[in-house]
A and B are shown apart, each in its own frame.
Chain A
Amino acid sequence: MTPMIDVVFQLLIYFLVTFSTADVLAHLDVSRPTPDAAASNQPPPADMIRVAVAPEGYAINGRDVTEDELAGLLERLAAVSLKQTVLVTCADASLHGRLITALDLCAANGLTKISVMSGK
């Protein structure tokens, strides 16, 4: 029996070492206006939360804010109503991770109607 037990232990050790748990993934649903609609440049309705993602920093309703301030403001705005649409405008040069950060803050506050547009 000894050789077999040796081999089984080797296999056991191999599987223990190579075992890795998979990441738990999340999905952030967004709606994307069609390119034609975005090009027609109509002003957004006033009751929307407008979040801009710049390569450095964020802006909410036209005011430059840091990530902490954005979190605080979104929390306060979300307390008013969760049915508001959030219009996230992301600059081309900013990293995708920063857009995800902004979307995550919206998700944290229960805002689910999110529309992503791209600015220059």
Chain B
Amino acid sequence: MKRNFQKKESGGVNMTPMIDVVFQMIIFFVCTAQLEKEMFSEFIRLADSPNAPEMAGEKDPRTITIEVDADGRTTIGGTRLTAPKLKNLLVKVVADYGVHGPSIPILIRADAAARHARVKTVMDVCAGAGLYKIAFVAVKDAAEGRVGRTSESRRSNVE
């Protein structure tokens, strides 16, 4: 029989090294896939906005996301920035891009519990640097098991 070699219990092809390598690869890809998403703070609880347009999958690669947490701290990519530093940074970025500088989109990820005064500072700095494409990030559809901070009051009022 031709299939005889597959049925042999002892002396068959040793699968163990291959499985080891495949597991290593799976773990490698799982770890690297996670790293790409870790840029934004997970402690910011965004406000709910079920009616706003959904964020486009392909966004402008120049987009700068500015985060404002509940205590009013301003960060970009995890780096804390004061208003003057933020201003210097944005002015420099706008200058680097030349003619296309002012059209760099700005996304503001602000916590629902942040005071408007802090968000205002960020917006003023952006406007001062000549940036005009400013947008707020909100949660359109919360993942299961998680409910945004303002959703309770919203549901009773709007729907």
Which residues of A come within 8 Å of B, CB atoms? Answer: 4, 20-35, 53, 67-68, 71, 90-101, 103-105, 107-108, 116, 118
Contacts and interface: CB of A to CB of B under 8 A. Distances in A.
Interface in B121-142: 123-124, 126-128, 132-142
A32 B49 contact: no
B134 A104 contact: no
A92 B115 contact: yes
A96 B44 CA distance: 12
A24 B141 contact: yes
Given A4-B19, A95-B113, A107-B49, A28 B120 contact: no
Given A28-B135, A28-B138, A90 B47 contact: no
Contacts of A98: 150
Contacts of A108: 51, 158
Contact of B107 (A20, A27, A95): A27
B66 interface: no
18 contacts: A4-B19, A22-B143, A24-B54, A25-B139, A28-B49, A31-B134, A34-B128, A68-B157, A92-B120, A94-B115, A95-B116, A96-B111, A96-B119, A100-B47, A100-B150, A101-B49, A103-B49, A104-B50
Nearest to A25: B55
B51 A104 contact: yes
Q: B interface, by DSSP: helix, strand, loop or mixed?
A: mixed
A56 to B, nearest CB: 13
A100 B140 CA distance: 12
Q: Enumerate the 9 nearest inter-chain pairs by beta-carbon distance, A residue then B residue, closest first.
A: A97-B112, A108-B51, A26-B140, A26-B52, A100-B47, A24-B141, A92-B117, A104-B49, A97-B47
A96 B146 contact: no
Nearest to A116: B123
B149 interface: yes
Contacts of A30: 134-136
B111 to A, nearest CB: 7
Contact of A101 (B47, B114, B117, B127): B47
Given A93-B117, A96-B110, A21 B135 contact: no
A107 B123 CA distance: 20
Contacts of A90: 116, 120
Interface string B57-93: 0000000000010000000000000000000000000
